[in-house]
Each structure stands twice: as C-alpha cells, then as structure tokens.
Amino acid sequence: MKKLIALVLALACVFALASCGKSNSGDYPATIMVNGTNYYSTDNAVPVEVDESVIQYTTSYAENGIPQKDGEANFNKDLGTPYAVIEGDRVVVLIDNEWIEFKAK
C-alpha cells in the first residue's frame, strides 16, 4: 500500500513539473501604446464618429507582446491600423470596421 501511495505521489510530481515547462507566450491582451501609456482592449465597440484630423496609425508590432513605444501594438502585425485619442484619455482602434475602446489600467 505504501508503494502505491509513493507511486501516485511520484506521478503527480512528474505531471506538475511537466506543466511548469509550458509557456504562455502569445497570451497577451490586445494592447497599444499611446503617449507613453499602454491601453488595453475592452472588446467593446463604441458608436463614435472620429474626426479624420485626430486619426493616427500603428507604426510597429510588439514582438514580445508588450508595446514599448508610441504607436506600437501587439494585435496586428500589419502596420497602419487606425487609432485615435478621443475625449481626453479615451483611445479607440479601428478593428474589423468598428471602433473598439481601449483603456489604460
């Protein structure tokens, strides 16, 4: 009986250690850096009319998952995704023809 319990505990330890090696890379929330602050997607489409004069475009892709400079995003490798700062500190990004709200945390 003791050998069976020891075997079960040993197997549990092996499975626990095996799962430690798995990486969660790529599991980052959609993020964009604007004016030195990272903004995270709320996944909420907002019905806004964005003035063409305030629209900016992403300039780089965050390879490590976390944007490090203004205009950098981690959700679209294609550069030139439109985004805008509206109403002070509210950021919206045009994704699939909808303005999606992003908020700073």
Q: What torsion, rounded to 10 degrees, do the Cα atoms 26, 31, 34, 35 define?
A: -70
Residue 88: how many other CB atoms lie within 10 Å: 5
Q: Which tokens is 53 given?
A: 């004069």
Domain ranges of the chain: 29-104
Express each pLDDT in 50-103 by its tens digit.
999 999 999 999 999 999 999 999 999 999 999 999 987 789 999 999 999 999
Q: What is the pTM of this model?
A: 0.72
Tokens 């999606």 belong to which residue? 100
